[in-house]
Amino acid sequence: MKRRIVLIVLAVCLAAGGALYWATRAEPRYEKYSTTFFSFDTVISIIGYAPDLNTFENVTKKAEERFMELHCLYDKYNAYEGVVNLYTVNTMAASRPVKVPDDLYDLIKYSHDMVPVTKDTVNIALGPVLLLWHDAREAAIANPAAAYLPGIQELQAADQHTDLGKLVLNDAQKTVFFEDPAMQLDVGAVAKGYAAEVVAQEMLKGPMPSFIINAGGNVRTGHPPRDGRPNWGVAVQDPDGYVSGDGVSDVLDILFLHDTSVVTSGDYQRYFEYQGKRYHHIISPVTLMPTDFFRSVSIVTESSAYADLLSTCLFLMPYEEGRVFVESLEGVEALWILNDRSIRMTDGLKDKASSQGASNPNPNQ
């Protein structure tokens, strides 16, 4: 009898211990951590919910290294020792097919294949035209008194060398060749978003899938924050706002989302002024000039590469045309800030926007 009681007590203890073990194992505590670093000519921040600081640091160190590596590959202005990057392609690909690393080939291929999807608006072969605008912007920023606009004849001459049909890609060899010696690729419309998607996909497979990456307004959210809130809050910047200490004055709307991207193209991100008028960095392949249909457009779709490509594309279309276009795309939503600062959004965003009454309750607080 005594032996039976001892056995029962032992069994109860084991069961309780086991339950406690599984309870603590199944529910590790998640802490919120954040970090920032500089890459892709912008500040990149990552916030994540991790079981401990060590996990967070390991994950974000790897993410930072990937961003640095990809930026070096997609850089068209600088050469790096021992690296075949976009600069190498732009200087060598007219004389021979250049074999490039997979990460660069994949981006060029993606951008090339998406041209028909963007209705010929985003053309990575627009390099010669974009370079003229880049030089004018740099000159004006260095010395506003010396600001000038690229001449239309100069722009039209450069536009003679923007035919994407003259870009020869070899999928088997991963080589890039220019049939036009004056061809220059510029992947600025998609590179940052593409890189953020590469990093996000790697992070989703790792030990910290609950994260948000903000690469200078190019936002990629992972799984929901592990503090009870169903979503991440993604701010839509006021085009006339300013980045203040608490960020409040800079926000026009907030979108509550997870496992998706929000990428914005706006007239306030990179620009210069000439004779009192603003000239930004998104150039119509038709007029060869910046557009002024509205102030900004934010695209919401899962892939940050697609969102980046579409944000530049939509920025080049009048609001009405862009709206019909976005509504024809599967899994894509958009928010525009018009010239009078009013907000328009596709129906799929209405239950996600704070301006429409959406919120992000935290039941644990």
User: In 3D, which of 228, 203, 221 has the Cα closest to residue 307?
Assistant: 221
Tokens of 117: 């999807």
Q: Residue 212 has which token pair?
A: 């948000």
Site for ligand ADP in 316-345 (CB under 6 A): 316
Q: Figure out which of the listed residues 118, 237, 311, 346 binds Mg ion, where binding follows CB under 5 A.
A: 311
Q: Whose structure tokens read 């032992």?
A: 10
Q: Does 283 bind ligand ADP (CB under 6 A)?
A: yes
- Give residues 235-254 in contact with ligand ADP (rule: CB under 6 A): none
Q: State both tokens at 172.
A: 């088997």
Binding part of the chain for Mg ion, among 10-18, 134-142, 206-214, 302-310 by CB under 5 A, reads 302-310
Q: Which of 328, 351, 323 is nearest to 338 (CA)?
A: 323
Q: Amino acid letter at 297?
A: V
Q: Which two tokens stand for residue 75?
A: 């850089």
Q: What is the largest CA-CA distance in the chain?
A: 104
Among 51, 233, 285, 348, binds ligand ADP (CB under 6 A): 285
d(CA 355, CA 274): 35
Site string for ligand ADP, 152-191 (x = CB under 6 A): ----------------------------------x-xx--
**Which partner from the list ligand ADP, Mg ion, none does 50 bind, CB cut-off 5 to 8 Å by kind?**
none
Q: By CB under 6 A, tell whether 75 contacts ligand ADP.
A: no
Task: Point out which span in 28-36, 48-56, 101-109, 184-192 binds Mg ion (CB under 5 A).
Answer: 184-192
Pick one of Mg ion, ligand ADP, none as the site partner of residue 229 (Cβ within 5 to 8 A by kind).
none
Quick count: other Cβ atoms within 10 Å of Cβ 29? 9
Nearest to 190 by CA among 308, 337, 63: 308
Collapse the DSSP code of 19 into the 3-class scheme (helix H, G, I; strand E, B; otherwise coil) and give the result. helix
Which one of residues 47, 59, 126, 219 is an interface residue with ligand ADP (CB under 6 A)? 126
Q: Which residues bind ligand ADP (CB under 6 A)?
A: 121-124, 126, 130, 186, 188-189, 192, 218, 265, 269-270, 281-283, 285, 308, 311-312, 315-316
Q: Which residues bind Mg ion (CB under 5 A)?
A: 189, 308, 311-312
